[in-house]
Amino acid sequence: WTLILRFQIVMDTEDAEMGMSFRDGLLAWCNRVLNPQGVYVKNFTDSWQDGRAFCGLVNVLEPNQINLAEKAPEKAEDNMNEAFDFADENFKFPKLLDAIDVINTPDDLSIMTYVSYYKQYLATKG
């Protein structure tokens, strides 16, 4: 995790100045971009298990790509696979996560690493 944090993940200067940890800053960013879509995350574990937050992140980079109203929490595996496949094909994000693993035993550090790709992509795109 230390190597990933050092070389893959870039902390916002603004978050650091506010005394926020990387985790807190990334969670705040997630809520800033996901809340307008009706998705709320409180952590990097069970908040992601239904796949809707991952679909919402796709919409942040490619607006209206995935209709969240049609994404039932009971279809978590399908929701995640759609988001992961779209991000792989369109943004070239590596498939670091497996839907079944996120459903059964979500790993906060793995989810944070994957989510950081979206934040970095948006920062370089905008």
- Tens digits of residue pLDDT in 31-78: 999 999 999 999 999 999 999 999 999 999 999 999 999 999 999 999
Report residue 46 CA to chain centroid gap.
13
* pTM of this prediction exceeds 0.75: yes
pLDDT, position 125: 80
For the chain, the average pLDDT equals 88
- Going by pLDDT thresholds of 50, 70 and 90, the confidence category of residue 93 is very high
Question: Burial, 77: exposed, middle or buried (Cβ in 10 Å; 0-12, 13-18, 19+)?
Answer: middle
pLDDT, position 21: 83
Contacts of 122 (CB under 8 A, 6+ apart): 33, 60, 61
Q: Rounded distance, CA 12 to CA 1, Å?
A: 18
The first and second tokens of residue 85, run together, are 């496949």
The first and second tokens of residue 121, run together, are 């992509």
